[in-house]
Amino acid sequence: MKRQSSYKDEKGKLYLVPTPIGNLEDITIRAKKILTDADYIAAEDTRTSGILLEKIGVHNKMLSFHKYNSKERAPELVKLMQEGAVIAEISDAGMPVISDPGYILVKECIKADIPVVPLPGPSAFATALIASGFDAQPFTYYGFLPRKSSEQKPFFEQMEKSHATSIFYEAPHRLSKTLKTMSSIFKPDRQIVAARELTKIHEEFVRGSIEEVTDYFVENAPRGEFVILVSPNTEKEETLSWSELIKLVDKLVQAGTSKKDAIKQVAKENKVSKNELYDQYHQG
Ligand code: SAM
């Protein structure tokens, strides 16, 4: 077990700093302060972040930290923090670590007992979720799905059954194909939302059945950045009554299964308590 006190001392630490996903006014006062006061800013793309930092009036030293150099860079950054440096990590947009680099550095910092201090702020999936009109609890965030339809299918089969709202990111040029793959798995009336260009001037929510949204994007080529949300499956699983479950136990017993094993099997297959079924069986 390990305990971390984020603000106890002034030694080196890692701040995870979210940046706007479109609207520059979404940078928080605290994020700006941390970015200004840190010894270094570790940025996914120093050019992209340089433009953002310039616009929000932050001038500070940047180090590049992206998915291709993260393995070698993480120990170097950890060393700087062990020597007392405060590093603010940012990604191109939104929350670092969420479908962006950062995870390796967080893991290495925890290993080295360096405090990891997260700042709250914009993330595309949470922004889309709260306006989707779907239940926000529970939800499952998948990030980017694999690109091939054959590899996407198991994810969609899981979402099809799921009682949670499902959320994933998709590139505009792949969206129509992905929607067609979804159409082959989901019932056509399953509701989805395509949340586009969040916080930007062309922000748009396309809400409807999979069939309607797929047709819409055949007519209107997808442009910009997208979050796709799938409504929870609201179909009730069929539950059997106790007398029906007892009949199933009897059938197994007649076929030669012991009473104990038959009760165990029927309880497991029907997601009921083994003890309860045992009691019901012996009462009945
Ligand atoms: N770290 C980011 C976050 O916290 O949301 C996600 C980074 S991921 C590399 C980029 C993807 O996020 C985009 O391809 C898009 O699917 C989604 N995204 C980012 N900004 C968005 C926006 N303004 N509107 C809709 N989707 C967005």
**Distance (Å) from CA 195 to ligand 1 centroid:** 10
Protein residues with CB under 6 Å of any ligand 1 atom: 21-22, 91, 93-95, 98-100, 123-125, 169, 171, 195, 197-200, 225-227
| Structural domain boundaries in the chain | 13-122, 125-230, 242-283
Which pLDDT score, from 0 to 100, does residue 261 have? 93
Q: What are the residues whose beta carbons fall under 8 Å from the beta carbon of 125, sequence distance 6 or more?
A: 98, 141, 167, 169, 227
Residue 169 CA, ligand 1 centroid: distance in Å: 7
Q: Give me the amino acid identity at 243.
A: S
Residues pairing with 191 in the sheet: 209
Domain 125-230: which CATH number of 3.55.50.30, 3.30.950.10, 3.40.30.110, 3.60.20.10: 3.30.950.10
- For residue 187, the SS3 value is coil
Q: Write the CA distances from 165 to 157, 193, 256, integer angstroms.
A: 14, 11, 43
**Which single residue is written with the structure tokens 């979720």?**
129
Integer Cα distance of 72 and 195 in angstroms: 36
Which protein residue has the closest C-alpha to ligand 1 atom 6? Answer: 99
What is 13-122's CATH superfamily?
Answer: Tetrapyrrole methylase, N-terminal domain (3.40.1010.10)
* Per-residue model confidence (pLDDT) at position 7: 81
**What was the pLDDT predicted at 284?**
65
Measured CA to CA, the distance from residue 31 to residue 54 in angstroms comes to: 14
pTM of this prediction? 0.85
Give average pLDDT by consecutive 10-residue segment, the chain, 284 residues. 81 96 97 97 95 95 93 95 97 97 95 96 98 98 97 96 97 97 94 98 97 95 98 84 91 92 91 88 81
Pocket test for ligand 1, best of 89, 99, 119, 204 (most atoms within 8 A of CB): 99
Q: Which of 16, 13, 42 is nearest to 30 (CA)?
A: 16
